[in-house]
Amino acid sequence: MKLYPELSATVQELEQEYNQIPENRKQQLQQLARYVRQKQASGQPAQLNFICTHNSRRSHMAQLWALAAAAQHDVGPVACFSGGTEATAFNPNAVEAMRQLGFRIEKTDEGANPVYSIRYAPELPAARVWSKEVTDAVNPSSNFAAIMTCSDADENCPVIPGAEIRIPLTYEDPKAFDGTAEQQAKYVERARQIGRELLYAFQTVSS
């Protein structure tokens, strides 16, 4: 599946950076790859729910990168979701970071918790993204992998109802740099790290 050119260029860069992924992270990513592979073998879709406390930054970045990585490596069927222990909003700095990396993002609904239409490949439908709780009706309630993208959610949610497997894949929060001169660079850095690692995971599925 062809990604949009700007995103494809970012993907090509990230796929040359797998040596930056520590070995212990690769083991966690391989656990994710095994889950997707097992679902493929059983003829079922792999449902991946990326979970963070506020469903504002890292979980959204991971959801979108998982969709793009699955398309890049022709892995399917894969359905990607995100949620939090509470709903806030998709952070504008995270939105801008993903836009800079080549995702095509349009705000379709204003308000305190805007809805975004996000595209990554011309032949695939847009992802409709907004902040929501893990238990929101649009998220799966059974037969899914809970992928914990922040340590706070991982520590404070010992049980995710309906999850078949729980995979800790935590990232440092770029929120720590809000309001600083490094703000946008750190958001892009985190978005690239998440993309690099999920591309590695989905390449592992297809290899």
Identify the CATH number of the domain in which residue 68 sits: 3.40.50.2300
**Predicted confidence band at 158 (pLDDT cuts at 50, 70, 90)?**
low
Cis peptide before 5 (omega within 30 of 0): no
* pLDDT score of 155 more than 70: no
**Which run of H or E residues covers position 164?**
strand 163-168
What pLDDT score was predicted for residue 206? Answer: 82
Check: CB of residue 10 under 8 Å from CB of residue 186.
no
Query: What is the C-alpha separation between 41 and 37, in angstroms, rounded?
Result: 6
- How are the residues of the chain apportioned to helix, strand and coil, as percentages rounded to the nearest 5? 45, 20, 35
**Beta-carbon neighbour count of residue 19 at 10 Å?**
5
Q: Which residue(s) pair with 47 in the sheet? A: 79
Mean pLDDT for the stretch of residues 23-33 = 96
Report residue 197 as tokens: 């690692």
Q: Which helix (H) or strand (E) holds 108?
A: strand 104-109
Domains in the chain, number: 1
pLDDT at 182 over 70: yes
Domain of 158?
5-206
What does the pLDDT average to over 73-96?
Answer: 96
Are 172 and 4 contacting, i.e. CB atoms less than 8 angstroms apart? no
